[in-house]
Amino acid sequence: MIQFDNSYLRALPGTYLRQAPDVAPAPELVVLNDALAAELGLQIDDAAGWFSGAVLPPGADPAALAYAGHQFGGFSASLGDGRAHLLGEFLGPDGRRWDLQLKGSGRTPFSRGGDGKAALGPMLREYLISEAMAALGIATTRSLAVVRTGETVRREDGALPGAVLARVAASHIRVGTFQFFHARGEADKLRALLDYTIARHDPGVEGALGLFDAVALRQARLIAQWMGVGFVHGVMNTDNMALSGETIDYGPCAFMEAYAPGTVFSSIDRQGRYAYANQPLILGWNLARLVETLLGLFDSDADRAVEIANARLEGIAALYRGAWVNVMRAKLGLQGEDAGDGALADDFLLAIQGVDWTLAFRRLAGVVADEAAYVALFEDATLLKAWLPRWRSRLRPDATAAMLAVNPAVVPRNHLVEAALQAATAGDMVPFHALLAQVRAPFGPEPGREAFALPAPTGFGRYVTYCGT
């Protein structure tokens, strides 16, 4: 049983449309996250039925949530869950509240001409990448299960097996949720949403300004962590920024291999708006869109509200920079804090241009014992050799162990992800489970699992990802 307690639907009428998921004709469980279910205290009696839409869990009250959003900079006033159904909320053993949502579970009034379905590959991608992010210690929604529906969906690649993902999240409240009611001029619903969000995520903060400060700090830390592991989200629209601070909506995401600031994987990001190096800039842009919705709640005096908003927005770059430098201090094994640490990190990035991101950090831990082996990673180590003495002067006494504890040996390498998803689509789950086991232990020793720790072979070519819609 899952003990549902659907506070969002009770507290915020008009922010959703009740809608049952489509009934999967022949549900078949593909993967179930038993460890997560146990952690959340969930007793799952019918995984295939509950998580495919074939059977509603007792107490579920399915709904499609309303939100707006800026998509690649263009505003759409009405988006909403076009292929997802919130089954309800439940409380974990620690009293924390969680959403349980199905993704790929059929059309809703927000579908905008889409079929509301999902193919198996993209749902397994979200399962795999979100589990990797959780293991890396990065805030994320979690995947509870993937179920084949027994249907076929048609995409550019042809006919593909349909599937539904069951997702757990601290909430599905997005910047776009606030934009939805602001665009409609529904001040009462915007205020109710603000009060609900504070009560759910930040009890104790004061008003809109307190919530914004809490959200900005969470998001700055989140994006800094993404940057630390070379993660490229690929579609940082405002409807994909969760106020909980979790990574949400894994579509055309991937992990960067050779370090190049302009790295883009998404097939639809032709201008590089959401390139690796642009993610901190989009953080500020998205938070500015949130400020626009809250401006009237910052202060009753319009001029004063604008002053407050501008001051907060001007501080976002420094907020992110502080979070990023802290991430880099840990990754570089630095002792304490020094005013020059940011410049030290910047200069390291200049030195590793074109070098595999993950290996550049992971194997730096071995430089203390064997500098020559590390230098061999570089075609031109001139900048690195000039940088190493500065770095050594800042090292903590236990730098090697500390760096190995935060720099992963294994991330979801793109060629392995692609191979696993292709095999799964063809009915072979062995490569998927092998890769899943490895990314769930990212910081373990590299020897013995080189096949999962090394970059793609030369012939793999440029990697392109798709939204999966």
Looking at the predicted structure, is the pLDDT value of residue 370 above 90?
no
| pLDDT one-digit tens code per residue, 153-194 | 998 878 999 999 999 999 999 999 999 999 999 999 999 999
For 124-143, write each residue's pLDDT tens digit: 999 999 999 999 999 999 99
Confidence label for 468 from pLDDT (cuts 50, 70 and 90): low
pLDDT mean over 111-119:
90
Q: What is the pTM of this model?
A: 0.97
Q: How many other CB atoms sit within 10 Å of the CB of residue 398?
A: 11
Q: What's the confidence (pLDDT) of residue 458? A: 86
CA distances from 94 to 139, 242, 263 (A): 17, 22, 40
- Annotated active-site residue in 99, 115, 239, 249: 239
Please determine, for residue 113, whether its predicted confidence score (pLDDT) is greater than 60: yes
Q: Is residue 345 pLDDT above 70, yes or no?
A: yes
pLDDT tens digits along 34-45: 999 999 999 999
Mean pLDDT over residues 318-347, rounded? 98
pLDDT at 216: 98
For the chain, percent of residues with pLDDT exceeding 70: 100
pLDDT of residue 461: 83
Whether the predicted pLDDT of 467 surpasses 80: no
For the question of residue 239 being annotated catalytic, the response is yes
Task: Give the pLDDT mean for 377-383.
Answer: 94
The pLDDT of residue 422 is: 97
Give the per-residue pLDDT at 462.
86
Model confidence band, residue 368 (pLDDT cutoffs 50, 70, 90): confident
- Which whole number is the average pLDDT over 298-306? 94
Q: How far apart are CA 116 and CA 267, in angstroms?
A: 21
Kindly report the average pLDDT of the chain as a whole number.
96
